Amino acid sequence: MITNSAKIVRFHTTGNADVLKIEQVSIPSPTKDEITIKVNAIGLNRAEVMFREGQYLESPVFPSRIGYEVSGVIEAVGENVTSFKVGETVSTIPAFSIGKYGVYGEFATVPEHAVTTYPNNLTPEEGTSIWMAYLTAYGAIVELAKTKSKDFVLVTASSSSVGLASIQIAKTEGAVVIATTRTLEKKQFLLDSGADHVIVTNDENLEDRVNEITEMKGVNMVFDPVGGSYIETLANITATNGIIIEYGALALEPTPYPLFIALQKGLNIRGYTLFEITKDSEKLSRGKDYLFKKFSAGSLKPIIDSTFSFDKIVEAHKYMESNLQKGKIVVTI
């Protein structure tokens, strides 16, 4: 039975991490097609920082909840729920409105279609670290780019949880992975995480190094969450008929379309979000099956940078914004 009230995280205005407040609220029973989860661990994502700042695909309606990923145990199920029962260990897939169903809290209620089991060889901290990052990477690398053996795949911002997931998935598909990082400090970590080559962009010329590594062929795929004017450089290093997938806007500046390079090379340059996968039942089913099998076999493994206690949610968000992390940041309850 759900307790009458619980602690959740809400914010009442956009802004820096300090706008996040832990509040005691009443917890209603799940309604039709909903599931309530007693939360064990929360996985943090860059999308939540952007949502908190008012720079995301969805705008908050105040007071707004926040958060996409938790792992925990089912506490209650609503009417019509048939796939799960109370007591099952599950995690959430980002397939809902972050403001309406935000999951930061002791309890989280989400639609049934956004709930799934995770392999029992993973801890709760790992179970909350897989679906956002790895489904995002799977959709781009497997579904869209159809990456094959010996393709060159360039992953930018590669020490993020999505970046690391992309390295792992591209490697399982037999690709040659080139990772970028701004500073030397993360180079060895990325090599240890599976990247075949690491380019330190503060110290090395990206075009020169990619041309050297690919013997002037260019990369078959670029997976980039940054955007901005750097896209022209990315277009320059992409192979003929290659694909550039933009899945974020961390540059916080306009992203010009490199028309003439795209025309010359026949490039496919497209925007992409995880929701392309989660809103398509067939793609989502394929992605879940692909990832579940590989996590169970140990060929994929989430990398957790650090854990924070629930009362340190503000500090956890500030740490995410520092860009010092190497992998997933997790909050435990």
Q: Residue 78 is part of a domain; what is its CATH number? A: 3.90.180.10
Give the C-alpha separation, 326 to 303, whole Å.
8
Q: Confidence band (pLDDT; 50, 70, 90) for 224?
A: very high
Give the C-alpha separation, 182 to 154, whole Å.
14
For residue 271, what are the β-bridge partners? 246
Tell whether 23 and 59 lie within a shared domain. Answer: yes
Tell whether 142 and 254 lie within a shared domain. Answer: yes
Tell whether 245 and 317 lie within a shared domain. Answer: no
Please state the domain count of the chain.
2
Residue 27 lies in a domain: yes
Is residue 2 predicted with pLDDT exceeding 70? Answer: no
pTM value is 0.93
Is residue 274 predicted with pLDDT exceeding 70? Answer: yes
Tell whether 144 and 255 lie within a shared domain. Answer: yes
Tell whether 143 and 267 lie within a shared domain. Answer: yes
Buried b or exposed e, range 98-125, using 16+ CB within 10 angstroms:
bbebbbbbbbbbbbbbbbbebbeebebb
Contact at 8 Å (CB) between 139 and 162?
no
Residue 286 lies in a domain: no
Tell whether 93 and 40 lie within a shared domain. Answer: yes
- What average pLDDT does this structure show over 119-128? 97
Bridge pairing between strands 152-155 and 176-181: parallel
Tell whether 38 and 141 lie within a shared domain. Answer: no
Tell whether 77 and 125 lie within a shared domain. Answer: yes
42-99 pLDDT, tens per residue? 999 999 999 999 999 899 999 999 999 999 999 999 999 999 999 999 999 999 999 9
Q: Residue 162 is part of a domain; what is its CATH number? A: 3.40.50.720
Q: Confidence band (pLDDT; 50, 70, 90) for 102?
A: very high
Q: Confidence band (pLDDT; 50, 70, 90) for 297?
A: very high
Tell whether 65 and 126 lie within a shared domain. Answer: yes
197-223 pLDDT, tens per residue? 999 999 999 999 999 999 999 999 999
Tell whether 96 and 192 lie within a shared domain. Answer: no
Residue 294 lies in a domain: no
Is residue 125 predicted with pLDDT exceeding 90? Answer: yes
Residue 269 lies in a domain: yes
Is residue 250 predicted with pLDDT exceeding 90? Answer: no
Q: Report pLDDT for 147.
A: 98
Is residue 233 predicted with pLDDT exceeding 90? Answer: yes
Residue 46 lies in a domain: yes
> Residue 34's domain spans which residues?
5-130+303-332
Q: Report pLDDT for 252.
A: 82
